[in-house]
Amino acid sequence: MSSSITVPLWLALIVALLALWALLDRLLMPSARWFIRSRANKVLDEVSQRLPIHIRPFQQVRRQAMIDRLVFDEKVQQAVRGLADAQQMPREVVLAQAQRYAREIVPAFNAYMYFRIGYWVGKKLSQSLYRVRIGSTDDTGLAAIPENATVVFVMNHRSNMDYIIASYLAAERAALSYAVGEWARLWGLQQLIRAMGAYFVRRDSKDELYRRVLERYIAMATEAGVTQAVYPEGGLTRDGRLREPRFGVLDYMLRGWHHNGERDLVFVPLGLNYDRVLEDRTQLLAGSAMRRGRLRALANTLRFLGNQLWLLLRSRWHRMGYACVNFGTPVSVRAWAGSRGIRFEQLDRERRHAEVAALGHHLMAEVGRLVPVLPVPLVATALLEHPTQPRSLFDLKAAVARLVGTLESRGARLYVPRQDWDYAVDAGLRMLRLRHLVDEADGLYAVRASETPLLSYYANSIAHLLHE
């Protein structure tokens, strides 16, 4: 006599899925991992022969091993013990929190993702949206950076496109590791960002344990020679002007550097500017009393994307003008400290903060001088000299010529499309008219009153070069 066992269909499906997953995990996943590793190693071998600033062994350590190394770092362990004692908590609970912070921060750099997929996407996206240009570079200074130095690019922060454009333009020199805010911690996106070598930061966190874990990761990466990029402003500009910088990350980097160590620490100032910033209206609203909720901000973004798609479908879409980057003269911390007769590691807390701030302000002053002068900011500045008065094209070009004379006398970096100022003014006006920020009637150009704040946003990007 035979008997049979019946199970519900949903349970049979779960068992089948588990069996399939086990099969994939045992047979296919090891092969997939081997394939990905082999492709990454091939790319590493290739780029190590052409990059002036090499990828460090630190970046190739397995992510879990790096997390363990960070969690059991002596200074992190001291912070764990201190917090456990201060709050009467079990040490295991605090240690688990430190591990969560480490997993959140530590990247998973993959050379294939960075130099094949990331570079291709960055190049295509940048060139699709903008006419991307490198305005000026100190090639002699960049070539003189010692091979084993830790290089850090210091830049202003105007748009989230900064990450993409700077990485794309610097890819012939180095693989950049960024600090990325919590906005990018979305499933799928955060895995891609980690594979590109970026690490996540909670910019305004007051959690002492978190700050110590972040500090030790940045210090360890700096000590290991990892090339990094930082935005001392902390966030995007709200009104177009350079924001007051904060130097916490800079201080963390200096904690991982020693004056008599094997590596110098070299900061490379970098200035960016755009004829159009994707987030301009959003940032103006964020900086005003009229704050919008997330849903309204999302609706505004979708409306912008829909409008761009509609223009594309009607063959009326144009690229958003010029995006330009200037690379400045490298600043050696060893030379800087020597000229001031200091050793950062020997300073007390108060003096150290003062010297870090002095170095930081010097770097940001260099970044400010490197911000490119582009057609739209220049024309916007000329229009705002008399915002209520319609101007002829001749008057506008005369005003631009006066501004150019002032800027050139102060050593500003002006990008002149086609080496033709008439074309530059026409290009700037065309962009402003396409966006309906400026009206034209009978050959006279007038600022649309409701758009004066947005016009000021672009003029502010070069205001410091005119009024310093």
Quick one: pLDDT at residue 74?
A: 94
Give 433's pLDDT tier (boundaries 50, 70, 90): very high
Query: What is 375-467's CATH topology?
Result: Arc Repressor Mutant, subunit A (1.10.10)
Q: How confident is the model at residue 181 (pLDDT cuts 50, 70, 90)?
A: confident
On the question of pLDDT at 316 being above 70, the answer is: no
pLDDT of residue 133: 94
Measured CA distances, 401 to 172, 219, 374, 453 (Å)? 36, 47, 14, 24
Q: Which run of H or E residues covers position 198?
A: none
pTM: 0.85
Secondary structure of residue 89 in the 3-state scheme = coil
Per-residue confidence (pLDDT) for residue 180, from 0 to 100 = 79
| Domain boundaries 103-278+320-370, corresponding CATH code | 3.40.1130.10
Q: Lowest-pLDDT range, 186-190, 195-199, 253-257, 273-277?
A: 186-190
Identity at 58, one-letter amino acid code: F
For 233-242, write each residue's pLDDT tens digit: 988 999 999 9
Residue 353: left if φ>0, alpha if ψ -120 to 50, beta else—which one? Answer: alpha
Reported as a pLDDT band with limits 50, 70 and 90, residue 362 is: very high
Residue 177 backbone dihedrals phi, psi, to 5 degrees: -110, 120
List the single range of 9-13, 102-106, 129-133 with lowest mean pLDDT.
9-13
Residues near 294 by beta carbon (within 8 Å), at least 6 away in sequence: none
| Domain range list for the chain | 19-50, 103-278+320-370, 375-467
Q: In angstroms, rounded to a whole number, what is the distance separating the alpha carbons of residues 414 and 416?
A: 6
**pLDDT at position 301 over 70:** no
Predicted confidence band of residue 102 (pLDDT cuts 50, 70, 90): very high
Please give the pLDDT value at position 44: 44
More confident call, 298 vs 451: 451
**What are residue 277's phi and psi, to 5 degrees?**
-100, 130
Looking at residues 286-294, what average pLDDT do you find? 59
Q: Report the range of poorest mean pLDDT among 11-20, 136-145, 252-261, 326-335.
A: 11-20
Mean pLDDT of the chain: 85
pLDDT at 110: 75
* Torsion-angle region of 414 (φ positive above 0: left; ψ -120 to 50: alpha; else: beta): beta
pLDDT in tens, 185-230: 666 667 777 777 788 888 778 889 999 999 999 999 999 999 899 9
- Sheet of 391-392: strand order equals 391-392, 444-447, 438-441
Per-residue pLDDT for 338 more than 50?
yes
